[in-house]
Structure 1
Amino acid sequence: MELDLVLAAVAVAVALWLRPWRVVGPAGPPWVWLGWCAVMPVLWGTDRYVASTVVQPLSGAVLLMMMAGWPLAVLAMVPVALATWAMAGLEGAEALHRLVWLGDMPATIALGLGAAVRRWLPHQLFVYILGRGFVATALSCVLSGALSMALHGATPGLDPDEQMIGRWLAAWGDAFLVGMVVAIFVAFRPEWLATYSDRLYLRPPESGGPPDRDDGPGAE
């Protein structure tokens, strides 16, 4: 529990230091961000709602990070964890564990992978949707699950190998969901994605100069 508390505290401290609320307009965040935050407690507590430890919860954190940016996502996941704690009847330590390993860690790993995609791969819509929305989501959820099990062990009553398979399958479920939603948003509501920029991904191939970035403190 001590490690989870340190990781959560560091993530929140960094997010607060970046002051991401500066990029939110006077009208407040888009309703879809708040709607997704309301859905995430259902994802995080799925195993408790169906009373089966075999079921591995989905994360949803990568989609929130891509919509709101990393700092706002980290701050928003604190009330998500509190809602999961209340709705799923979790102990405090378990709610904190899910905040870190279903929330902060997948979002942070996906942020790093997304930065690598943007740095090393072509700035094309297909690369953004497939690389960041799909592949980075799957890898971040798998890596987060593996780190959690390495540091804390498997869920009591579950074989570690079977739980890792479950985390792998859940990660691909997250990836399909995020990839599909990101593709829809890019086509119809790109302003709902803090990690996306028309100037970067719709640049004419013949234009010169350094690429525009979407790197503000509230972007990622």
Structure 2
Amino acid sequence: MDGEALLWLELALGLPALFAALALKPWRMLCGPLLTPTLAALALLPWFWLLPQQLPQGLQIQLSGASLLALMLGWPLAVPVLVLVALQVWAFGLHDAEAVLAQWVWLGLAPATLALGIGALLRRFVPAHPFVYTLGRGFLGTALSVFGAGLLQEFAQRWLTGASLQDALVAHWLMAWGDAFLTGMFCAIFVAFAPQWLATWSDRRYLKPPAD
């Protein structure tokens, strides 16, 4: 198998997810306070994705931001926003459409979807508490989702193109903690000062008084 097979795999993963997200009509959420973080994401996130193209060759620092976006906007709105981010990366960057598609799937869609799954597990099995949200979903959940997305990408490339893992997994693990630190920090700030910018946060759930 060659790179064409990987391209078809990425399309097979990305298009159904996009259609599923759009079927939920996520643009309705833009009528409220989520318009501000959406516009901020469209203005800032493309430059994080373009960062490796601006650094010296061999120094590849890549941040995702998808987990934070999923926490702020919710998965249905985060997915099309990530598409718009990828289109900006394509317009302003040096990569071709196939490379940008790979970025959208593995740097955006995959960690956002894994973050959704981790959040669902925490809601199901862990008591509701602000500390669980900021540490579990914001920090540890981001580390696991970003690393998990990188792991899936590396195994897909190895399976379809025969590429070697080499030190890629170590790099993904280290980069995941950079995303985790930023996401956990912003989650804590938003919980304290702007909870309306977190679609996945609920005062009723996380700040309810203890039962007598």
TM-score (norm 1): 0.87
Match 2:15 to one of 9, 12, 29 = 9
Tell me the amino acid that sits aligned with residue 5 of structure 1.
L
Confirm or deny: 8 A CA contact 2:138 2:184 kept in the other structure. yes
| Higher helix residue share | 2
Tell me the amino acid that sits aligned with residue 14 of structure 1.
A
1:201 aligns with 2:206: yes
Tell me the amino acid that sits aligned with residue 6 of structure 1.
A
Within a 5 Å distance, the mapping from 1:23-62 to structure 2 comes to 23-25=29-31, 29-62=34-67
Confirm or deny: 8 A CA contact 2:52 2:62 kept in the other structure. yes
d(CA) in 1 for partners of 2:42 and 2:186? 15
- Once the two structures are TM-superposed, the CA of residue 67 in structure 1 deviates from its matched residue by 0.5
- Once the two structures are TM-superposed, the CA of residue 49 in structure 1 deviates from its matched residue by 1.4
- DSSP 3-state at the match of 1:89: coil
Match 2:26 to one of 9, 15, 20 = 20
Confirm or deny: 8 A CA contact 2:34 2:196 kept in the other structure. no
State the partner residue of 1:175: 180
d(CA) in 2 for partners of 1:130 and 1:28? 24
Structure 2 residue ranges without an equivalent (≥5): 1-6
Q: Kindly tell me: are residues 123 and 14 of structure 1, through their superposed partners in 2, closer, same or farther at Cα, counting changes over 3 Å?
A: same
d(CA) in 1 for partners of 2:152 and 2:50? 20
Q: Kindly tell me: are residues 141 and 195 of structure 1, through their superposed partners in 2, closer, same or farther at Cα, counting changes over 3 Å?
A: same
- Once the two structures are TM-superposed, the CA of residue 161 in structure 1 deviates from its matched residue by 3.1
d(CA) in 2 for partners of 1:8 and 1:14? 10
State the partner residue of 1:215: none
State the partner residue of 2:4: none
Identity, in percent, stands at 45
1:98 aligns with 2:64: no
- Once the two structures are TM-superposed, the CA of residue 88 in structure 1 deviates from its matched residue by 2.0
d(CA) in 2 for partners of 1:82 and 1:171? 23
Within a 5 Å distance, the mapping from 1:68-217 to structure 2 comes to 68-153=73-158, 160-206=165-211
Q: Which runs of 4+ in 1 moved over 4 A?
A: none
CA deviations on 1:127-146 (whole Å, 9 max, x unpaired) are: 11000000110000001001
Tell me the amino acid that sits aligned with residue 17 of structure 1.
A
Tell me the amino acid that sits aligned with residue 188 of structure 1.
F
- Once the two structures are TM-superposed, the CA of residue 206 in structure 1 deviates from its matched residue by 0.7
- DSSP 3-state at the match of 2:167: helix
CA deviations on 1:41-79 (whole Å, 9 max, x unpaired) are: 112122211143441411000111111110100010111
Aligned-CA RMSD value:
2.0
TM-score (norm 2): 0.90
Confirm or deny: 8 A CA contact 1:85 1:91 kept in the other structure. yes
- Once the two structures are TM-superposed, the CA of residue 28 in structure 1 deviates from its matched residue by 6.9
- DSSP 3-state at the match of 1:66: helix
Q: Kindly tell me: are residues 45 and 159 of structure 1, through their superposed partners in 2, closer, same or farther at Cα, counting changes over 3 Å?
A: farther
Q: Kindly tell me: are residues 153 and 52 of structure 1, through their superposed partners in 2, closer, same or farther at Cα, counting changes over 3 Å?
A: farther
Q: Kindly tell me: are residues 65 and 29 of structure 1, through their superposed partners in 2, closer, same or farther at Cα, counting changes over 3 Å?
A: same
- DSSP 3-state at the match of 1:81: helix
